[in-house]
Amino acid sequence: MSRIRTLVVEDQPIARDRLVELLQSEPDVEVVGAAETGLDAVEAIRRLSPDLVFLDLQIPDLDGFGVISELGHAMPLTIFVTAYDEYALRAFDVHAFDYLLKPFGRERFQEALARARARLDEGREEQLARRLVSLVQDVGGPKPLPDRLMVKSGGRVVFLALEELDAVESEGNYVRLHVGTRVHLVRETMASIEARLGQDRFCRVHRGWIVNLDRVRELHVRTNGEHELVTHEGRSYRVGRAYRDAVQERLQLRV
């Protein structure tokens, strides 16, 4: 039988070490990593593809619900670790998700892990992921989009004002964030960064580009039918054929 690849997300060292110790005592569990912040958790889940995540809700950068919102249906089976309020705990019960209420002992941990084993054996990961997203909506409610973007770049956490972001360029499993003459290389997909930016100001103009429409000065239609956006700084972006109608509509709405 394959081992359960497990990630621990906990910012408190003592609590994190305790969880890792409990997991390592289980012969069918492999601890593939540990994360201390929400951004680290998102990156680790994408990179390691664990089967199971023990997720503390109150972590820096992004809280636990923010991690789930960021990953959406790609979020693995999750056991919440929390000292959360009664409302959140009732929501966990309604959606049938397990949680460890701090402080917890070995017996309660083993009960939660046993339920996780059973669910993994059932092989209903997609259904569980949809329920996770629904749980976040019930507990957290719709959250307004931020006015700045928090990203890890070059070993630092950088805060980028959205109004300063010119464009996003796809590069494999990474994206390049173009801010004036600066470029930040971030491990993230175009789909996830597009969701974080929203559609008020930013528009996907090509499979490999998202552009800040506030920066657009002109739309050129070439004799061969190609469309091209030109920014106030003079930079040009070719509009993909599949995106032309949507780009024109978005530009008209902003007139």
Q: How does pLDDT run across 51-68, given as a tens digit for each residue?
A: 999 999 888 877 888 888
**Longest C-alpha distance within the chain, in Å?**
72
For 174, 175, 184, 187, 191, the CA distances from 171, given in Å and listed in that order, are 5, 5, 12, 9, 13
Question: Which 3 state secondary structure label does DSSP give 107?
Answer: helix
What is the distance between the alpha carbons of residues 67 and 70, in angstroms, rounded to a whole number?
5
* Extents of the domains making up the chain: 4-140, 148-253
Look up the CATH architecture of domain 4-140. Answer: 3-Layer(aba) Sandwich (3.40)
Residue 121 three-state SS: helix
The number of beta carbons lying within 10 Å of the beta carbon of residue 228 is 14
Residue in the structure block whose two tokens are 């990203």: 151
Predicted pLDDT at 68? 85
CATH number of the structural domain 148-253: 2.40.50.1020
Query: What does the pLDDT read at residue 145?
Result: 55
Residue 55: the pLDDT is: 93
pLDDT at 17: 95
Q: In this structure, are residues 34 and 59 in contact, taking their beta carbons and an 8 Å threshold? A: no
**Which parts of the chain sit beneath pLDDT 50?**
87, 142
pTM score, two decimals? 0.56
Q: How much is the pLDDT for 88?
A: 59
